[in-house]
Structure 1
Amino acid sequence: MSVRTAHALPEAAWFKSSYSTGGGGECVEIAAAPETVLVRDSKRTTGPVLMVGVDAWSAFIRQAGRG
């Protein structure tokens, strides 16, 4: 897992979590990139981007779905 500040993906590649609220609360956006999933704060779109491997992301989603 790593963090970077610049990315080359178009804005259209990003989408908000279905659990994000419309009231400006904690919102997470993700985008798929080759071999990684990118995660960022929707309120800081030019801020850091978390890069997660596809296998790690899949494990996270499976675990989150159990809760």
Structure 2
Amino acid sequence: MGELVDKIKGKVNELVGEAKEALGDHNDDARLKAEGQVQQVKGKGEQIKGSVKGALGDNI
């Protein structure tokens, strides 16, 4: 179950990060754009964590 939760949280973070990056780019807000990029990386990490849990089992 933890695998699915991590993957969903990761995808949500990626999508929110993409939106922040686009909004920051549109409004010439470098801070918001950078925040969005960081959030996307965090989301990708959560998805990888979910994949590892799926491969090794949720009890890690």
TM-score (norm 1): 0.25
Higher strand share: 1
User: Which structure shows the higher helix fraction?
Assistant: 2
Higher relative contact order (CA 8 A, sep 6+): 2
